[in-house]
Amino acid sequence: MRIGSIFENQNLEKRIAITPEIVKKYISLGLEVCLVENYGLHLGIKDEHFIEAGVKILKDEMEVLNSSDMIVQLSMLSEEQISNIKENQTLIGVLNPYNNKEKLEKLSNNKINIFSLELLPRITRAQSMDILSSQANLAGYKAVIESFANFEKAIPMMMTAAGTVPAAKVLVVGAGVAGLQAIATAKRMGAIVFATDVRMASKEQVESLGGKFLTVEGSENLETEGGYAKEASDDFKKKQEELLSETLKKIDIVICTALIPGKKAPVIIKQNMIENMQAGSVIYDLAAIQGGNTAFTEVDKIINRNGVKIMGESNILNKLPVSASNLYAKNMFNFVDNLFDKENKKININLEDEIIEKTIIK
């Protein structure tokens, strides 16, 4: 059996799904690996590195698609690429089923096996495959670095003969994987860190990292069985707004990470809150691609509103593509390892396995 991967649209996505380190693992399973020419060159990985690991390099991406039993990618293929996939082939990636219904339907009608890794269940056995966690970890770290780079004051407290520079105050909105990494990173760099989340289970995690958890009075626990945040009630939103309005007046940097899978991001930081913030403050919105957590977020722009900078990128991981690719490739291999029947050297779609059952798109 052959596993293959081709270029992403590099204007949108610089990560790759197979790295030289992971090639050896696929070969040890009994799979042949083929990649398109110059597959990792933009990350400084020459074809020679892949060839040394045992990869077959093909000049034409359509040839890779045609000849691979399994195709592993980051994002959804184009219409032309889809037309080159044959019956019974398998496509695995982060396929965004909420936005790619027509393409997925076409693939399904052509009897292609489709797996989308953002649908992985939050269970212990799936942790090594959890692309949302591995990538969010890096995103949370990088969001702090980017916002600190745009903040025109020092971050840690500094005591000098000329006087004391106060520590920057950071608020992290949403204490999931990205938020917790943002808290840890900001704390390591000397900031005073506050955090808020609709899931009460986050309080202990925030405090263990040295952050102060802001609790909405009479809070309800808004956590799904799968461990994700769910929509808050109007009463909760009102109380949260009041708490945030007062808190934001003294905050220097805000990192927004609040997302609801498959839905528009909740607008948590309203216009009046931003207008009451100190000039020179920075908001980094990791939810920008899903509409943003602020009233003014625009994708790939820095909006200046009354001296407050509001930042949001379509894909922050394009700024860490080597680290992100290494983690993604490992997640992908672990998923394929679970899907692959090593004894019979074929894909085994066992729908009694919760990991396979939840990620397959029918």
The predicted-structure confidence for 123-175, as pLDDT tens digits, reads as follows 999 999 999 999 999 999 999 999 999 999 999 999 999 999 999 999 999 99
Indicate if the pLDDT at residue 284 is higher than 70.
yes
Q: Per-residue pLDDT for 221 more than 80?
A: no
Tokens 């045609």 correspond to: 66
Residues that are catalytic: 122, 127, 130, 133, 228
Any residues with CB less than 8 A from the CB of 37 and at least 6 apart, and which? Answer: 47, 57, 58, 59
Would you call 116 helix, strand, or coil by DSSP?
strand
Show the tokens assigned to 3: 């596993």
Q: How many CB atoms lie within 10 A of CB 278?
A: 14
Q: What are the pLDDT digits (tens) for 297-325?
A: 999 999 999 999 999 999 999 999 999 99
- Domains of the chain, first to last: 2-119+321-351 (3.40.50.720), 137-318 (3.40.50.720)
Enter the tokens of residue 343. Answer: 């004894």
Q: What is the pTM of this model?
A: 0.90
Q: What is the mean pLDDT of residues 249-255?
A: 97
Give 305's strand partners.
Answer: 308
Confidence tier at 219 by pLDDT (50, 70, 90): low
User: pLDDT of 227-246, one tens digit each?
Assistant: 555 566 777 778 888 899 99
The amino acid present at 14, given as its one-letter code, is: K
Highest mean pLDDT among 101-110, 112-121, 216-225, 257-266: 112-121
Q: In whole angstroms, what is the distance from residue 55 CA to residue 34 CA?
A: 5
